[in-house]
Structure 1
Amino acid sequence: MTTQPFDGNPPVFGALGRLYQSVYGTAQNLISHALLALFARLAIAGVFWRSFLNKVETNGLFDYVEVINNFEVQRSLMKVPAFPITIEDSTFAQFGEGGMFELPLIPGGVAAVMATAGEGILPILLVLGLLTRFAATGLIVMALVIQIFVFPTNAHFWGSIALWFVPLFYLVGRGSGPISVDHLLSRQLAR
């Protein structure tokens, strides 16, 4: 493993500068591409997976009741898609005519299925580190569609989309890293 030269300030501040370079040079060596790629894959996959779960029927795991303002609210520690996977009627309504997510040129039913499939399949690929660059590119396209056609505001771009782009562009540019199926497959194919 080659280490990248420290890109921080040279130790021009004497002992304080040398301490700075020592601490952050060590951090630079510890926070490797392997860790950054893994964390980027898991973090951005979670964003889109939660959106997927909002579009399909789900089952709760580890259910419990929470009392909020004297009202009992049924909660689950974790939700998983119900099988067979069924897109909720509300999802089709949101993508339909006059719906919040209505897109030009694409019929609402088709858009609902495409968005749901993308948010269900691409995060799984990212978590596994399988076809990572393809999956990240697909999510970039989805993010652009959301930005251009659904929430075309600067506030939405800088509040959500720009933050999604950081891990997605990192993954497209640098790949899945060594903790991934992509890495295992490339090593097997190289033999």
Structure 2
Amino acid sequence: MTPLTHARRLHAGLTAFAARWIAPDALPLLARLTLAGVFWRSLLTKVSTVKLFTYTELINDFEVERSRLRLPELPLELKAAAMQQFRGDFALPLLPPDLAAWMATLAELVLPVLLVLGILTRISALALVGMTLVIQVFVYPEAWWATHALWVVIGLYIAVTGPGRISIDHQAARFFAR
């Protein structure tokens, strides 16, 4: 067997592996986690958080407190700075600022969790695509190529292809198909 034949067989094997395992399992999960992470981190900037697994790190002779996990503190309370952003920079033409702030915050709380678990995945992804487009048009119109185009592509990929096999949606569909 020639080296070219070995290379072709290796390529065929890797392609078959990717088509069988990575495409239906890892890629949709990675897309869901990535999109959820973007909006979850945004949520954490708007609300008070509970820091878990904290540690102190020495950076340039200064102690900096870090945490491995941050969760929103319940009941949710929007930070004054977040409310001010929605009254100023993030102001939307049709919604009162306080309502827009709460709608964005609740969407950033619920939709990432649904995406990570794979529950109502397509609807959650489309809702985040819609939210991204609102941000693009009314808040950061210059950020399309830098950021928002990627979020939209990831969200549309999830909406079109579905959550993948590692999701509650997939398991529920299999259960109810029986």
Normalised by the size of structure 2, how large is the TM-score? 0.88
Name the residue aligned to 1:82. Answer: 73
Counterpart check, 1:161 vs 2:151: no
Q: CA deviation at 1:24?
A: 4.5
Q: CA deviation at 1:118?
A: 0.7
Name the residue aligned to 1:150. Answer: 139
Alpha-carbon distance between aligned partners in 1 of 2:172 and 2:19, rounded to the nearest angstrom: 28
Q: Which has the higher helix share?
A: 2
Identity %: 47
Q: Show CA shifts across 1:127-172 (max 9, x none).
A: 110000100000000100111111111xx11111111122211111
Name the residue aligned to 2:115. Answer: 126
Q: CA deviation at 1:92?
A: 0.7
Alpha-carbon distance between aligned partners in 2 of 1:28 and 1:137, rounded to the nearest angstrom: 25
* SS of match in other structure, 2:165: coil
Q: Show CA shifts across 1:66-102 (max 9, x none).
A: 2333332222121111122222111111101xx2212
Counterpart check, 1:135 vs 2:155: no
Alignment size in residue pairs = 174
RMSD: 1.9
* SS of match in other structure, 1:32: helix
Structure 1 spans left out of the alignment, 5+ residues = 1-13
Alpha-carbon distance between aligned partners in 1 of 2:128 and 2:170, rounded to the nearest angstrom: 21
Structure 2 spans left out of the alignment, 5+ residues = none
